[in-house]
């Protein structure tokens, strides 16, 4: 269930299907992705075979995707029930289930067949969570998380590493790719299908990323990671990926519009409309420079801007300026929990500033729902009522539905997982055909 604040309590549809976009790369069409034990060996000297896909970040309407989604959310399920739930004809469901069974994406549960049932349509089917994995990578300013996910979008394994400080983006990305490859090799018996990358900044065609805070311009995130890991790669803006992860958890919330607001070391927003994350051509909206007005404890450098004031680094700067001996954001949380009034006041002011910003943006977009994600919200639940009061501080927002992300503290992992599964969830048969 979605946590609520005090009661505290987008996207344009794009064509479905992965597209090879990196100039000079050869699209993987005839070879299966490395069954990852093989991917842990030395890189070959031949021309790398890579594939970079543009994630769709939507609830796909392709029949195979619809049937897979029904199996993921309600399986084990019988074919007639799947037809009723999906609105597809029974013949369409039969065709799709047969194709998905052949591909191995779903499996039948003969042990759950009703007594006396005859024929395969009376065998319930479910997602195959045993034989396939994907790799999710969330590249943060300071920390990079690497996860493996089954076809239910569940985290199977996870590690965190400091984001490598290379002399170039390529060096940093190669180091991340090697770590991901080694980590995925822990599951040698499973077929690893895809890598999904969630990252801040602007993601352009071909998995190229502009990330000002990392100092990257047109960094070849997709090409380098695809070559290093040996898998197809999808790359998405991390806030858009987080919004997509929310859709995966509860697709029944797809109808209507959602504003997703993220805050941790960076701040950002995404907007979903009718089950599709809206992705502007110019990239996700940039809000880190938004003015915040006068502050008491926040923003000791007087930047007047949102991100420097409310980011984790900004909170540590504010705490030090106020005389606290802290090294990282966790130290501020610890001090507040121990009763330090200054630390508590800093976190409360952060909540109020974030709430006012959410309220301003929500008044512009006027969404049906607002979802708050990131550790700026989830790590300080005691300040959520202050966020809610600030969000509802204008008459237009008096009854606005404001929620905390279902992903909680694992939001970065869930976002990367959503991107890693995007191709499979958008068009499962095409995705497996590409990697067969």
Given a cut of 50, whether residue 13 has pLDDT beyond it is: no
182-200 mean pLDDT: 95
Q: Which of 289-303, 360-374, 422-436 has the highest mean pLDDT?
A: 289-303
Burial 91-121 (b: 16+ CB within 10 A, else e): ebbbebbebbbebebbbeeeeebeeeeeeee
251-269 mean pLDDT: 85
Q: How confident is the model at residue 254 (pLDDT cuts 50, 70, 90)?
A: low
Comparing 117-131, 303-317, 357-371, the range with the smallest average pLDDT is: 117-131
Burial 179-200 (b: 16+ CB within 10 A, else e): bbbebbbebeebbbbbbbbbbb
Q: What percent of the chain has pLDDT over 90?
A: 63
Average model confidence (pLDDT) for the chain? Answer: 85
Higher pLDDT, 49 or 345: 345
Given a cut of 60, whether residue 185 has pLDDT beyond it is: yes
pLDDT given for residue 11 in this prediction: 34
pLDDT given for residue 29 in this prediction: 31
Given a cut of 70, whether residue 253 has pLDDT beyond it is: no
164-168 mean pLDDT: 91
Separation in Å, CA 361 to CA 107, 138, 247, 256, 289: 45, 25, 21, 17, 13
**Among candidate residues 82, 142, 84, 87, the one with its CA nearest the CA of residue 106:** 82
Comparing 73-87, 136-150, 406-420, the range with the smallest average pLDDT is: 406-420
Given a cut of 50, whether residue 51 has pLDDT beyond it is: yes
pLDDT given for residue 247 in this prediction: 86
Residues written for the chain: 436
- Distance of alpha carbon 297 from its chain centroid, rounded? 32
According to DSSP, the residues that pair with 237 across neighbouring strands are: 199
For the chain, count helices (H), then strands (E). 16, 17
pLDDT in tens, 122-158: 789 999 999 999 999 999 988 999 999 999 999 999 9
Determine phi and psi for 207, rounding to 5 degrees.
70, 25
Higher pLDDT, 253 or 220: 220
pLDDT given for residue 426 in this prediction: 95
pLDDT given for residue 250 in this prediction: 72
Higher pLDDT, 219 or 38: 219
Q: How confident is the model at residue 5 (pLDDT cuts 50, 70, 90)?
A: very low
- What is the Cα–Cα distance from 105 to 129, expressed in whole angstroms? 8
- What is the Cα–Cα distance from 392 to 283, expressed in whole angstroms? 28
pLDDT given for residue 236 in this prediction: 95
**Among candidate residues 433, 415, 419, the one with its CA nearest the CA of residue 134:** 419
- What is the Cα–Cα distance from 240 to 276, expressed in whole angstroms? 10
Given a cut of 90, whether residue 120 has pLDDT beyond it is: no
* CA-derived radius of gyration, the chain: 22
Q: How confident is the model at residue 364 (pLDDT cuts 50, 70, 90)?
A: confident
Cα four-point dihedral sign 63, 64, 69, 70: positive
Q: How confident is the model at residue 18 (pLDDT cuts 50, 70, 90)?
A: very low
402-428 mean pLDDT: 90
379 burial level (CB within 10 Å; 0-12, 13-18, 19+): middle
Given a cut of 50, whether residue 4 has pLDDT beyond it is: no
pLDDT in tens, 365-400: 888 888 999 999 999 889 999 998 888 776 666 677
pLDDT given for residue 3 in this prediction: 43
Separation in Å, CA 169 to CA 42, 99, 256, 275, 371: 21, 41, 39, 34, 32
Say how many C-beta atoms besides its own lie within 10 A of residue 271's C-beta: 23
216-236 mean pLDDT: 95
Given a cut of 50, whether residue 32 has pLDDT beyond it is: no
pLDDT given for residue 231 in this prediction: 93
């Amino acid at each position: 269930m979605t946590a609520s604040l005090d009661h505290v309590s987008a996207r344009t549809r794009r064509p479905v299907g992965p597209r090879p976009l990196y100039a000079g790369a050869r699209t993987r069409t005839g070879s299966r992705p490395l069954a990852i034990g093989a991917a842990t060996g030395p890189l070959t000297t031949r021309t790398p075979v890579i594939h970079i896909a543009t994630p769709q970040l939507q609830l796909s309407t392709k029949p195979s995707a619809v049937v897979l989604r029904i199996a993921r959310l309600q399986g084990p399920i019988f074919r007639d029930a799947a037809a009723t739930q999906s609105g597809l004809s029974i013949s369409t469901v039969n065709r799709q289930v047969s194709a998905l069974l052949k591909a191995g994406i779903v499996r039948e549960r003969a042990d759950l067949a009703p007594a006396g049932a005859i024929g395969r349509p009376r065998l319930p089917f479910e997602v195959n969570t045993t034989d396939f994995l994907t790799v999710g990578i969330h590249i943060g300013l300071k920390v990079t998380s690497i996860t493996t996910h089954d076809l239910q979008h569940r985290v199977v394994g996870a590690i965190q590493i400091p984001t490598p400080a290379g002399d170039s983006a390529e060096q940093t990305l190669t180091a991340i790719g090697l770590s991901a490859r080694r980590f995925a090799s822990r599951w040698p018996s499973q077929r690893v299908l895809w890598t999904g990358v969630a990252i801040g900044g602007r993601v352009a065609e071909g998995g190229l990323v502009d990330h000002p805070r990392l100092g990257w311009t047109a960094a070849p995130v997709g090409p380098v990671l695809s070559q290093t890991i040996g898998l197809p790669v999808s790359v998405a803006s991390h806030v858009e990926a987080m919004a997509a992860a929310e859709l995966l958890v509860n697709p029944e919330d797809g109808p209507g519009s959602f504003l997703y607001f993220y805050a941790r070391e960076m701040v950002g927003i995404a907007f979903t409309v009718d089950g599709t994350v809206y992705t502007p051509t110019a990239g996700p909206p940039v809000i880190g420079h938004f003015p915040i007005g006068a502050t008491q404890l926040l923003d000791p450098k007087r930047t007047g801007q949102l991100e420097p004031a409310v980011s984790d680094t900004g909170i540590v700067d504010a705490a030090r300026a106020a005389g606290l001996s802290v090294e990282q954001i966790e130290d501020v949380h610890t001090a507040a929990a121990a009763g330090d009034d200054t630390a508590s006041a800093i976190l409360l002011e952060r909540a109020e500033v974030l709430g006012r910003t959410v309220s301003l943006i929500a008044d512009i977009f006027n969404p049906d729902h607002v979802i708050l994600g990131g550790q700026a919200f989830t790590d300080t639940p005691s300040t959520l009522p202050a966020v809610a009061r600030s969000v509802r501080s204008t008459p237009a927002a008096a009854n606005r539905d404001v929620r905390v992300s279902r992903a909680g503290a694992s939001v970065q992992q869930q976002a990367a997982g959503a991107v890693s599964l995007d191709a499979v969830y958008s068009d499962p048969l095409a995705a497996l055909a590409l990697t067969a």
